[in-house]
């Protein structure tokens, strides 16, 4: 597509001095008020170098560029040059480009194949995959897709919580109250009940805590019986997790979790010692970060056992040595901000320059309407239950409304699961929110089902036009763009034009909601066009041009939804 900002910058550069092409392009604005043009150039900055009043500078630039064919009109308004792009040129360019690129539209090569790691989801084995995990899971999956669309080589890592003292507790509980058959039948719910019972019993029998610590020490030292139980819990947990990942259409390149780094940590404890960063405090080993305002980071406990920070340092170095990452992105709740600040700083102090390429992408927390979730007390909402309920309720709505669909089960899955994902990605990721069934399953307003319905409406228009007419719309060589320059058509085309840059903006901000908001805008723009214009008109050239815009919109919505991890049903 024509980069209008770049082309305008080149034209302006011929009439100003003292600014580079990049500086001029950076100064070009997109006015909020459409009456002020498609692009505007403020001239205040030029007053000192050109020694003229900004309005006079703006007038000179406007006169100098107004005859160029990419403009419909150029105006000087005070210190601004307001530029109205040729509607025909923009519409023809964007519609042709979207149809030509198809599923590739919205992608770029900004990343040039550089390796980027995205660590996301990362549930704890033998514990529920609950609604609290949905944020890391779907935000991380969308960031992975956005970076892939930007041309990076993305490595998706699920850093499983499969290590630590809780596994001593789990094995202890299983030995006291466990039943193998129950674990096989319902692994997570059964193991959760044991974990909950352990904490209840430990209140009156504190010796259980000592027993659990001893069991974990045996696990750390590779004792066969403990390792076999731990591996069984891990395998059974992954079966359950993968059911949810399959529902969400998510896959990973690596499930290397905390346990993977258990034999790699001594190297880094020794390295911290050798570099004079480690200090002893009450038998424990620490790194003092008080001068940096980050407190004290605990590296090993007094009994010699390691902590999250030790494993995260080992993991970061392993990933650099294995993947030579350009960026190492961690999609982890904002509760862990201090933890990430501490170990990024330790990595820096150890002399690893790539500490600056490790990025923590925080997000707000999910709570229940009845209070905070607690695994220890068994107060959780299983993510699988949320997804299944969303699908079942969607199926009921489809039946009630008599929706004409090829496969009711498939459509209900696409729309129900899509509603849950979209609900997660529609707001800025850093916001906390309260999980509410009513909100998740409300299909009105700016929701996932609304965007999917708009896609299905595009598909319906093309079907109603007939195969021959829809095929002509895809042949853009003879597109008569003058028929799609009305206000609503032009505004829709501008939204399509903006999608590739929107994807880049979302990637740079690690913010999927930037894409979510934009595809809502595209859906609203299409529905205005659908309302304002009669599409299947008698005039053949006009009909084909309008169908081409419909086809381009359909492609853009599908590609936008895919970046969120959602599907687009043809009938709804």
130 annotated active-site? yes
**Contact partners, residue 147, CB within 8 Å, separation at least 6:** 111, 116, 118, 154, 329, 507
- What confidence category does residue 441 fall into, taking pLDDT thresholds of 50, 70 and 90? low
- Whether residues 121 and 201 share a domain: the answer is yes
pLDDT of 93 > 80? The answer is yes
- Whether residues 335 and 194 share a domain: the answer is yes
- Whether residues 64 and 126 share a domain: the answer is no
pLDDT of 305 > 80? The answer is no
pLDDT at position 377 is 55
**Contact partners, residue 552, CB within 8 Å, separation at least 6:** 94, 95, 98, 99, 493, 496
- Residue 11 in domain: yes
Q: Which residues pair with 81 in a beta bridge?
A: 41, 76
Percent of the chain with pLDDT over 70: 97
127 annotated active-site? yes
pLDDT of 3 > 90? The answer is yes
pLDDT of 444 > 80? The answer is no
pLDDT of 378 > 60? The answer is no
Which of 87, 127, 413, 543 is the catalytic position?
127
- Whether residues 44 and 162 share a domain: the answer is no
pLDDT, mean of residues 485-507: 97
- Residue 375 in domain: no
- Residue 246 in domain: yes
- Whether residues 71 and 160 share a domain: the answer is no
- Cβ contact 154:142 at 8 Å: no
**Domain of residue 251, residue span:** 115-263+307-368
Which of 401-405, 430-434, 546-550 has maximum average pLDDT?
A: 546-550
- Whether residues 210 and 358 share a domain: the answer is yes
- Whether residues 160 and 218 share a domain: the answer is yes
pLDDT, mean of residues 12-33: 93
Taking the C-alpha atoms of residue 525 and residue 451, their distance in angstroms, rounded to an integer, is: 11
pLDDT at position 535 is 97
pLDDT of 307 > 90? The answer is no
- Whether residues 121 and 79 share a domain: the answer is no
- Residue 549 in domain: no
pLDDT digits (tens, 9 = 90+) for 321-343: 999 999 999 999 999 999 999 99
- Whether residues 63 and 148 share a domain: the answer is no
- Residue 477 in domain: no
- Residue 157 in domain: yes
pLDDT at position 164 is 80
Please identify, among 317, 340, 368, the residue that sits at the C-terminal boundary of a domain. Answer: 368
Which of 35, 45, 63, 130 is the catalytic position?
130
Count of the separate structural domains present in the chain: 2
Taking the C-alpha atoms of residue 23 and residue 440, their distance in angstroms, rounded to an integer, is: 44
Which of 52, 73, 87, 133 is the catalytic position?
133
pLDDT at position 379 is 62
pLDDT of 415 > 80? The answer is yes
Cα four-point dihedral sign 392, 394, 398, 404: negative
- Whether residues 234 and 335 share a domain: the answer is yes
**CATH number of the CATH domain containing 11:** 3.30.1360.70
Among 5-9, 106-110, 260-264, name the one with the lowest average pLDDT. 260-264
- Whether residues 75 and 140 share a domain: the answer is no
pLDDT, mean of residues 445-464: 94
**CATH number of the CATH domain containing 253:** 3.40.50.620
pLDDT of 374 > 60? The answer is no
- Whether residues 353 and 213 share a domain: the answer is yes
- Residue 446 in domain: no
- Residue 241 in domain: yes
Please identify, among 321, 349, 368, the residue that sits at the C-terminal boundary of a domain. Answer: 368
pTM for this model (two decimals): 0.92
**Please, what is the Cα angle at 388 between 385 and 394, to 5 degrees?**
135
pLDDT of 240 > 80? The answer is yes
């Amino acid at each position: 597509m024509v980069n209008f900002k770049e082309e305008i910058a080149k034209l302006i550069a011929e009439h100003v001095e003292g600014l580079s092409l990049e500086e001029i392009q950076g100064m070009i604005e997109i006015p909020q008020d459409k009456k002020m043009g498609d692009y505007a150039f403020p001239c205040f900055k030029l007053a000192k170098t050109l020694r003229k009043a900004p309005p006079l500078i703006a007038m000179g630039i406007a006169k100098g560029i107004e005859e160029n064919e990419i403009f419909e009109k150029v105006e000087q308004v005070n210190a601004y040059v307001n530029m109205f792009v040729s509607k025909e040129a923009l519409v023809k360019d964007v519609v042709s480009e979207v149809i030509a690129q198809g599923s590739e539209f919205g992608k770029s090569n900004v990343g040039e194949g550089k390796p980027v790691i995205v660590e996301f989801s990362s549930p704890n084995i033998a514990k529920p995959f609950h609604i609290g995990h949905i944020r890391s899971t779907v935000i991380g999956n969308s960031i992975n897709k956005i970076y892939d669309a930007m041309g990076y080589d993305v490595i998706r890592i699920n850093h499983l919580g499969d290590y630590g003292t809780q596994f001593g507790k789990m094995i202890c509980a299983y030995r006291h109250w466990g039943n193998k058959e129950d674990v096989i039948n319902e692994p997570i719910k059964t193991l959760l009940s044991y974990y909950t019972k352990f904490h209840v019993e430990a209140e009156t029998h504190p010796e259980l805590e000592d027993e659990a610590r001893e069991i974990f020490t045996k696990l750390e030292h590779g004792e066969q019986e403990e390792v076999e139980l731990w591996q069984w819990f891990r395998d059974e947990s992954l079966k359950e997790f993968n059911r949810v990942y399959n529902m969400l259409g998510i896959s990973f390149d690596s499930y290397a979790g905390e346990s993977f780094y258990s034999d790699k940590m001594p190297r880094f404890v020794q390295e911290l010692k050798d570099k004079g960063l480690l200090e002893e405090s009450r038998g424990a080993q620490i790194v003092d970060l008080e001068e940096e305002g980050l407190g004290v980071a605990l590296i090993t406990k007094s009994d010699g056992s390691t902590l999250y920070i030790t494993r995260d340092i080992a993991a970061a170095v392993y990933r650099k040595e294995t993947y030579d990452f350009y960026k190492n992105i961690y999609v982890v709740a904002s509760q862990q901000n201090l933890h990430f600040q501490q170990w990024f700083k330790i990595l820096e102090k150890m002399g690893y320059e790539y500490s600056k390429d490790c990025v923590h992408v925080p997000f707000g927390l999910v709570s229940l309407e009845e209070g905070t979730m607690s695994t220890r007390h068994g107060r959780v909402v299983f993510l699988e239950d949320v997804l299944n309920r969303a699908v079942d309720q969607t199926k009921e709505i489809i039946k009630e409304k008599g929706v004409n669909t090829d496969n009711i089960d498939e459509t209900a899955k696409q729309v129900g699961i899509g509603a849950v994902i979209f609900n997660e990605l529609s707001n800025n990721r850093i916001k906390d929110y309260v999980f509410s069934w009513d909100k998740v399953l409300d299909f009105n307003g700016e929701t996932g089902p609304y965007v999917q319905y708009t896609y299905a409406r595009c598909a319906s228009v093309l079907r109603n036009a007939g195969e021959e007419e829809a095929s002509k719309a895809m042949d853009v060589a003879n597109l008569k763009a003058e028929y799609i320059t009305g206000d609503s058509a032009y505004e829709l085309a501008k939204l399509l034009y903006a999608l590739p840059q929107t994807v880049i903006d979302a990637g740079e901000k690690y913010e999927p909601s930037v894409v979510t908001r934009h595809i809502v805008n595209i859906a609203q723009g299409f529905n205005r066009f659908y309302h304002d214009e009669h599409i299947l008109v008698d005039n053949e050239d006009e009909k084909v041009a309008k169908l081409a815009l419909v086809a381009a919109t359909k492609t853009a919505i599908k590609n936008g939804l895919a970046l969120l991890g959602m599907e687009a049903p043809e009938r709804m």
